[in-house]
A and B are shown apart, each in its own frame.
Chain A
Amino acid sequence: MRFEKISLLANHTISSILKEPINKWLVGLLFILIAFSLTSAFTSYLDHKHIVDHYSEDVRDLWENNPDKHPHRMAHYGYVVFRSHYPMSFFDLGLNSFLGNSAFLEAHRQNSINFSRVSLSNGLLRFGELSAGLILQLLLPLVIFFWGFGLVAGERESGILKLIIGQGVLWSENLIGRAFGLFLIGLLIFIPTALILFVLLLFTSTSDFFPEILSSFGITILSYLLYLLVMSLLAVWISAVSKTKKAALVKLIGCWLFFTLIFPKISQVAGQVFHPTPSKIAFDAAIEQDIVKQGDSHNPDDPLFSKLRDSVLAVHNVSSTNELPFNYSGFIMSQGEQLSTMTYREHQEELMTLYDKQNRLISWTALLNPYIAIKNISMSLSGTDFSSYRHFDQQAEEYRYQLAQTMNNLQMKYISNVITTSADKDAVISRRHWTNYPDFEQSFLSFSHRASNVNLSFMSLALWLSALIALIVYRSKSLSTI
């Protein structure tokens, strides 16, 4: 293969496409659409950040300003935490709109994380959500297909192809040159997008966090370049194997439909059939049943808890719980909390394993479907994928558990055993204990963690690229020029 021939053909492709005024319009429109999505998603990212900061501060103030009271009251008063979005989330909204944003954390129970955007949507969200990532994944390939479908098939119809190949240009040079031209026009849209994204990212985070963002940004850009290349090669290859322009267009539109709409939806349904997940009511009921089996800490005759009481009494060599050196009901509640949390986490783990299985099925389809591959990479690196959410969920649950146990410990330490109800005005501890309990700090999954989550998708893009190049290099010779 000769480089000059390839660059000549690439140049020719670019100028022939950009010659048409409609294509200039298309580039412009697509770019405006991307710029609109980026800025609108960025403003809503900032709004969300503002809301989260504002309400988190509110929650903290309210928490600290609670008067002296019984610690168990505080355990029930609980905490409200809000999910911060990853700084790059405005590039690819991913799952963000389908994930809850606020959780009420209290003792004894795990409340669900509520108020996802989808729960507040009237059904429009079903059509999808415009983000720069989605436009690059979904619409840019379609535009490339529009530009590319006639490149070879059209020349075959008009007889020019015979001339080109007859002049000593190799088939592979012709195809790669054409694909490269398409790719370069794609860059006309992609590079400004990347620049805007970069500038906006500069506004999002503190300097110590910036290396993380920069790596996410860099690998995302590289992946999209690979994807664009794959789509350009695919367009040219399909055009080369089609007898007529019309046939090439139909095939390419078919590919696009199959990759972006039909295949993902069908694999979603397959996932649901192969790995069915429980409904919320079944999930909650299973946990409740297990907790009931363990024993009821509120029931004085419960076998588990009476056995526990007897052994505690024996260890401390006393005859009644009132003589214990610590608050007995605080102790029982901390034991109960530990047991119920363990049960909850087991069930939660089970559910997550099911989701993981479902998601892995989708990840495997990425090998056949470059659209899913780039989607997974883009979501994961933008921090809007499922593992990122799971990370938040675990932090919130851990915070809840620590809060409940801290309050139980305070009760054991400071509350006398003769107190019968937490409503008793004498059973209070100082409010400085509330101030001492640290605020909720959310951390994000590290870049390396998020990147390694989508190994399979990276592999898929690499495979597609090599397969298409191999096809072009080894199989194109047998194509016909007429």
Chain B
Amino acid sequence: MIQLLVKQYVRSRGLMIGLMLLFISGLVSIYIGKLFLERQANTIDTTSIVQKEQIVRHLEHADSHIGLLLYYIRFGLANETPALSGLAIGHRDIRLPAQLVNIRNLEEQKNAQELVNPLYQLLGNMDLSFVIIYLFPLIIIGIGFNLVSEERESGVWSLIKSQPIDCKEIFKKKLLIRFVSVLLVLLLLLVVGMIYLHIPVDQSFLLFMSLSFIYIIFWFSYIWFVTSFQLSSNQNALILLSTWIILTIIAPASLNNVITNLYPVPEAYSTTIESREGYHSKWDLPKEPTITKFKETYPEFEQYNHPDDQDFSWFWYYAMQHMGDDESRSYVRAMKEKLQMRDRVSRVVGYIMPSIHTQLSMNTTSRSDMTNYLNYIEALEAFHEKTRLYFYPKIFQNTPVDQEDWQAFSLEFFRDQRQVNWMLLLPLFGMSLSLIIIANPRWNKNLMR
């Protein structure tokens, strides 16, 4: 019998066209992911070249003080782009994949954004996660909304009912065939993506796959649940489409509004002002407090001092630059906490919103989420401090410029090494299971009506 059901399914032209369209959109999205990865790689290469070139150029005036040279020279840290992020780009496309920073005040340097046409940001990228989260459910709705009602409305129903077979089993099989066909398309897309984007088959990729599977399973369970009420095709279509709109458009967008209003970030403005005040005003103030404070932070530089008879020294200058970062620190921390809070709240809400949960989890798995960005910024701060501390003694002692091997400073990489969190599968697993458990007795009850 299952063969007959498969035959019936494959012969329905509309459904096959639907699956075909899904597959094509998936291919386009993978191509978009490829473009994105190439652009990232390109930008990182350019950054590495620019870093080398500016070092060479500034060394042409190598007769100057090393403090002056380091005023200009910039050092780079890249945020490694995993191939998997081609499938879930997140906000990676608007963030810099690599930054060059000098050892002066970091606050004024670290918040730069990638140049992307804002209108294009609004229209948004179409990555595979988008195809999975938006388009797959629509097709699933299209092939499932009239699971039973079709038979009822076409009059075949009384024929089936009169047969000595388990009717529920038929529909279970019908839905299962549809499920397998959608799963095959998804699997094919994931394999194409894996090969075309050179994604390593590691835990992250497997989790990404499982997340997309469980999301599909959720939608099929939901269809099973909705059709258990045995309503008309029209009513089913209305219910399913409304759910889709609520889950993919209204709920996430409202949540975004609420979170933005709930956790405003005026700190973004304060940091700009504070960091500027923090060091510029030091030109007009006595130099002792700046130096004392600097030595409190870094006692290892106790032996250095600002010469009393001079208006300017590189020791004081870099201490003063550091004060900019130091004095805006509380705002920076507050801002970071708010961003984490925004993220945490949306994740919690995501436990009951499959679309939000899947998007955020896919971003997490492919390292293109907020946490990745915050981790990178933290790494950039550490990198900045490491570079500063390396050069401070040389500046303070006025080490000749040519004693340093400047060519050794090439682009460094930050790798986000978070554990792959398999627990991310649980919310959708639980939801799907409950839907099936609730739906099953209803199926038995309503079917014979």
Contacts and interface: CB of A to CB of B under 8 A. Distances in A.
Given A120-B342, A122-B369, 12 more contacts: A44-B260, A73-B280, A102-B272, A112-B113, A124-B360, A138-B249, A268-B123, A269-B35, A280-B43, A282-B46, A358-B119, A423-B283
Contact of A40 (B257, B268, B269, B276): B257
A98 B118 CA distance: 6
Given A59-B273, A122-B339, A264-B123, A102 B113 contact: no
Interface string B208-231: 000000000000000000000000
A246 B117 contact: no
Contacts of B123: 264-265, 267-268, 362
10 contacts: A44-B257, A69-B283, A99-B118, A114-B111, A125-B256, A268-B124, A279-B43, A281-B47, A285-B50, A362-B123
Majority secondary structure, B binding face: helix
Contacts of B234: 150, 245
Majority secondary structure, A binding face: helix
A198 interface: no
Interface string B87-99: 0001100111010
B114 A280 contact: yes
Contacts of B269: 51, 55, 80, 82, 101-102, 115
Contacts of B427: none
Contacts of B91: 118-119, 121-123, 125-126
A357 to B, nearest CB: 10
Interface string B338-379: 010011001000000001100110010000111000000000
In the complex, the 7 A-B pairs of residues with the closest C-beta atoms, listed nearest first: A127-B252, A122-B370, A130-B253, A423-B311, A115-B268, A423-B312, A122-B343
B311 A118 contact: no
Interface string A147-180: 0001000000000000000000000000000000
A391 B447 CA distance: 64
Of A104, A139, A283, which is in contact with the most chain B CB atoms at under 10 Å from its CB?
A104
A33 interface: yes
A246 B363 CA distance: 37
A257 interface: yes
Interface stretch (B179-187, B237-245, B436-444): B237-245
B117 A104 contact: no
Nearest to B42: A279
How many chain A residues sit at the interface, stated as a range, is: 35 or more
Interface string A262-277: 1011111101110001
A124 B346 contact: yes
B46 A285 contact: yes
Interface in A91-143: 94-95, 98-102, 104, 111-112, 114-130, 134, 138-139, 142
B117 A277 contact: yes
Contacts of A73: 280, 283
Nearest to B374: A122
A351 B124 CA distance: 20
A359 B119 CA distance: 7
Interface of A: 22, 33, 36-37, 40-41, 43-44, 47, 51, 55, 58-59, 62, 66-67, 69, 73, 76-78, 80, 82, 94-95, 98-102, 104, 111-112, 114-130, 134, 138-139, 142, 146, 150, 245-246, 249-250, 253, 257, 261-262, 264-269, 271-273, 277-285, 288, 292, 299, 351, 355, 358-359, 362, 385-386, 389, 421, 423-425
B245 A114 contact: no
A153 to B, nearest CB: 12
B115 to A, nearest CB: 5
A197 B43 CA distance: 44
Of B57, B94, B120, which is in contact with the most chain A CB atoms at under 10 Å from its CB?
B120
Contacts of B245: 139, 142
B108 interface: yes
Interface string B27-56: 010001001000100110011001001100
A139 B261 CA distance: 23
B120 A123 contact: no
B312 A421 contact: yes
Contacts of A126: 90-91, 124, 130, 359
A283 B273 contact: no
A355 B122 CA distance: 14
B266 A114 contact: no
Contacts of B113: 100, 112, 114, 116, 119, 280
A128 B61 contact: no
A400 B367 CA distance: 38
Interface string B254-287: 1111111100111011101100110011011000
Contact of B241 (A69, A253, A267): A253
A86 to B, nearest CB: 15
Contact of A127 (B50, B118, B249, B276): B249
Nearest to B317: A423
A111 B269 CA distance: 15
B78 to A, nearest CB: 11
Of B32, B57, B260, B277, which is in contact with the most chain A CB atoms at under 10 Å from its CB?
B260
B438 to A, nearest CB: 23
Of A78, A281, A284, which is in contact with the most chain B CB atoms at under 10 Å from its CB?
A281
A249 B233 CA distance: 11
Contacts of A111: 108
B261 A44 contact: yes
B449 to A, nearest CB: 22
B253 A80 contact: no
